[in-house]
Structure 1
Amino acid sequence: MSHKIAILGASGYTGAELVRLIATHPGMQIVALSADRKAGQSMGAVFPHLRHLDLLELVTIDQIDFGGVDLVFCALPHATSQEVIRELPKTVKIVDLSADFRLRDAAAYEKWYGKPHAAPEQQAEAVYGLTEFYRDEIRAARLVAGTGCNAATGQFALRPLIAAGVIDLDEIVIDLKTGVSGAGRSLKENLLHAELSEGTHAYSAGGTHRHLAEFDQEFSAVAGRPVQVQFTPHLLPANRGILATVYVRGSAETVHETLRAAYADEPFLEVLPFGELPSTRHVRGSNFCHLGVVGDRIAGRAVVVAALDNLTKGSSGQALQNANLMLGNAETEGLMLAPVFP
């Protein structure tokens, strides 16, 4: 059976990544692609790397007939998604890639995103989309909220350790580097080549990054008590990829064994042999996350490093993984492509 798929916001990076992945998916057919400013253009004109595909022309959302659509991927900007999803038919399943439904508490959303939640009824039914930890809920969901790409990376490194009680919950530091595509495709002066290349810099330091809301929500739920981490992201002069270096207090060998056991049967999470560390170039363009653990010269401390592609495992690949569960497909369908190297 081929499920009919609509992608809203197909002219952005995550929308294009969804098209790339679904193009070879045996159980999905793209029947609608929306854009705002680029409506009326072909996907091949907007993204020349997709010109070989037989794709429909980009249209505005109000031109789409959702009556025959099984699932919608919503790759729209924050705040826009709430307004659009609120009006979609109840018969349509939805995977949202924005931040609009990630936070269960509407007050927390208003605090971190600066405006009241516009769709509280839909928020109440949304399931957090970190696939490996919410499979059963995702299978039964109508609306799944994709995680932040930084938030996913940090959680893959830490959730099993918090659940197992093998690290000090009051001493967790996440130092994260991310590629520039995570900022989206809109024109921004600080993302121009001359402004960004040949350097790197920290941003949203001191506890101001919005993905901290997800860390607070998820880590506290796992631990059964409040957990706050230190988190500083850095912008790399690279197109894709996230590398998170996480510093924890605990036995390095126990940390490694805990992660290895937790992810032993996970198709997309690869724990490297103890002492080996991952690289973003080994997961580029794939739905895989590689994790490594080393000990520190200071006894009782460990370093966990996680690498994934922000556009795939951190966003569109995760979205497709969730959609597979929601539609009754094999979870890995369309996602086992090997990373691109070099």
Structure 2
Amino acid sequence: MRVTVSVAIAGASGYAGGEIARLVLAHPELELGALTAHSNAGESVGAHQPHLAAHPAVAGRRFAPTTAEELAGHDVVVLALPHGASGAVAAELERSSPGCLVVDVGADHRLVDPQAWRDYYGSEHAGTWTYGMPELLHAGETTAARQRAELAGTRRIAVPGCNVTAVTLALQPGIAAGLIEVDDVVAVLAVGYSGAGKAPKTHLLAAEAHGSLVPYGVGGTHRHVPEILQNFGVTGASGTRLSFTPVLVPTSRGILATVTARVKEGVTEADLRAAWDVYERESFVHVLPAGQWPTSAATVGANTVLVQLAHDVRAGRVVVTSALDNLVKGTAGAAVQSLNLALGLPETAGLPITGVAP
């Protein structure tokens, strides 16, 4: 007899929470449990997530308050809460539901170094959970088997930041293969507005955003910087120096990252392409044919990352572009992919690999 896995979502009124709910509803082994919110508790789910309102599992429902009591009794609890809010809820779940799988799509449990957390987030560190990037390469390895093994044995998962995923997956093959220098890595990202969250802020209004490109987190201040450096360290880099500049662009979804680094002496484009062939084994990361470049539109709605690279011989650098949907592979899709591994389900279950076009 088929047994379904119940999934509760805390923070289900936001963009990330809504996307997690969409993927759970389409998953063959998962069923949607409690949907909770903070300021929107008691309000109609359909009013905040109208794209889900017609589904029988959502129709007529209202958000419950985000409490341990509402989240208890589920096989999986996904925390789609503001940064700094997950730690307290997770501690309550440890007492009330010690056996459940908890997946945090916020930043609270991503970083290993407590001081890095304090420096970038300004509060006390809540602890470190298993990192929810199944494709993360460990030093000296040509597959991500170790990361998948860690996820398969965990009950606590920290989902990566969306920008972090784009930059890490763009450059890690070159680091793992020892083909690039990491003392001068530059990453510039075009990021859709849903990455800034759903809270009403003046700079997020359509009148402000339409027709305008806006940099933010400039000069090493963005909170994803220590997480990217942490990932590169796992892959084998030391002494990485990263210039990271995200730019909000007037689109709802998507990230297009351009990441460059110096190539070591004697390395050819053929060497670089051979290193990036590591992704041939991956279901969700695809290196495009030579001459074809990623677009964010091609990833909308899909749990895919599209990658391309070029060897800029005159500059002595590799240029890598990566594109993904920040709400799917950048957030909700990574959560489902990781929880699939933790539950012993097929890693690809319930995850779309085709985008929506045009």
Q: Same fold (TM over 0.5)?
A: yes
Distance 1:5 1:215, change over 3 A: same
Q: In the alignment, which residue of structure 2 is the partner of 1:238?
A: 251
Percentage of identical aligned residues: 41
2:261 alignment partner in structure 1: 248
Q: Which of 130, 135, 141 pairs up with 1:132?
A: 135
The change in CA–CA distance for 1:132 and 1:63 in structure 2 (over 3 A counts) is closer
- Which residue number in structure 2 is paired with residue 92 of structure 1? 100
What do residues 286-339 of structure 1 show as CA deviations (whole Å, max 9, x unaligned)? 100000112326163221100000000000000010111111111100103521
Structure 1 residues 186 and 67, CA, compared in 2 at 3 Å: closer, same or farther? closer
Task: Give the letter for the 1:4 counterpart.
Answer: S
Deviations along 1:104-141, whole A, 9 cap, x unmatched? Answer: 11111111101112x3xxx25x1111121221111111
Alpha-carbon separation, structure 1, partners of 2:158 and 2:205? 30
Amino acid in the other structure paired with 2:104: D
Deviates more, 1:65-74 or 1:241-250: 65-74
TM-score (norm 1): 0.95
Match of 1:77 among 62, 73, 82: 82
Aligned to 1:22: 24
**Aligned with 1:148 (options 133, 143, 161):** 161
- State the distance in 2 between where 1:90 and 1:41 align: 29
What CA distance in whole angstroms lies between the structure 2 residues aligned with 1:248 and 1:275?
A: 20
Q: For residues 103-114 of structure 1, what are the structure 2 equivalents within 5 Å? A: 103-114=111-122
Please state if 1:102 is matched with 2:114.
no
Aligned to 2:62: 57
Distance 1:257 1:199 in 2: 39
> 1:201 aligns to what?
214
CA distance in 2: counterparts of 1:67 and 1:36, whole angstroms: 17
- Residues 186 and 296 of structure 1, relative CA distance in 2, 3 Å threshold: same
Q: Do 1:252 and 1:303's aligned partners in 2 also have CA atoms closer than 8 Å?
A: no
Pair 174,132 (structure 1): closer, same or farther in 2 beyond 3 Å: same
Deviating above 6 A after TM superposition, structure 1's stretches of 4 or more consecutive aligned residues are none
Deviation for aligned residue 1:48:
1.2
Once the 2 structures are TM-superposed, how far is the Cα of residue 219 of structure 1 from its aligned partner?
1.1
> How big is the shift at 1:273?
1.4
Q: Distance in 2 between matches of 1:295 and 1:108?
A: 33
Q: Distance in 2 between matches of 1:69 and 1:103?
A: 26
Instruction: Tell me the alpha carbon deviations over residues 233-268 of structure 1, each in whole angstroms, 9 at most, x when there is no partner.
Output: 1111110000001112223332222112x1111000
What's 1:4 paired with? 6
- Measured in 1, the distance between the counterparts of 2:72 and 2:225 equals 38
Q: Measure, in 2, the Cα distance between the counterparts of 1:137 and 1:293.
A: 29
Contact kept? 2:183, 2:239, Cα under 8 Å: no
Instruction: State the match for 1:157 in structure 2.
Output: 170
**C-alpha separation between the residues in 2 aligned to 1:228 and 1:219?**
11
Deviation sequence 1:148-177 (CA, Å, 0-9, x none) = 100110000111111111111112111111
1:180 aligns with 2:183: no
In the alignment, residue 275 of structure 2 is paired with which amino acid?
T
When structure 1 is superposed on structure 2, of 227-236 and 38-47 the one drifting more is: 38-47
* CA spacing shift, 1:45–1:64, aligned 2, 3 Å: farther
Instruction: Specify the code of the residue in structure 1 equivalent to 2:283.
Output: P
Counterpart Cα distance in 2 of 1:80 and 1:294:
41
1:273 corresponds in structure 2 to 289
For residues 253 and 299 of structure 1, what CA distance do their matches in structure 2 show? 17
Within a 5 Å distance, the mapping from 1:300-319 to structure 2 comes to 300-319=316-335
Preserved CA contact (<8 Å) 2:260 2:318: yes
Distance in 1 separating the partners of 2:86 and 2:332: 16
Task: After superposing the two structures, state which structure 1 stretch, 68-77 or 293-302, moved more.
Answer: 293-302
Q: In 2, Cα distance between the equivalents of 1:47 and 1:65?
A: 20
Structure 2 counterpart of 1:34: 36
Q: Tell me how many residue pairs correspond in the alignment.
A: 336
Cα contact 2:186–2:244 (8 A) shared by 1: yes
Question: Separation in 2 of the partners of 1:164 and 1:334?
Answer: 32
Name the aligned partner's letter for residue 111 of structure 1. D
Aligned residue number for residue 142 of structure 2: none
Q: Which of 63, 67, 73 is equivalent to 1:68? A: 73
Counterpart in the other structure of 1:338: 354
Partner of 1:211: 224
CA distance in structure 2 between the aligned counterparts of 1:84 and 1:152, rounded to whole angstroms: 25
Aligned pair in 2 of structure 1 residues 69, 286: CA closer, same or farther (>3 Å)? same
Question: Which position in structure 2 is the counterpart of 1:296?
Answer: 312
The answer for the alignment partner of 2:123 in structure 1 is: 115
Matched, 1:47 2:49: yes
Q: Give the distance between the partners of 1:334 and 1:149, measured in 2 at CA.
A: 20
1:196 to 1:105, Cα distance in 2 relative to 1, 3 A: same
Q: Which moved more, 1:251-260 or 1:272-281?
A: 251-260
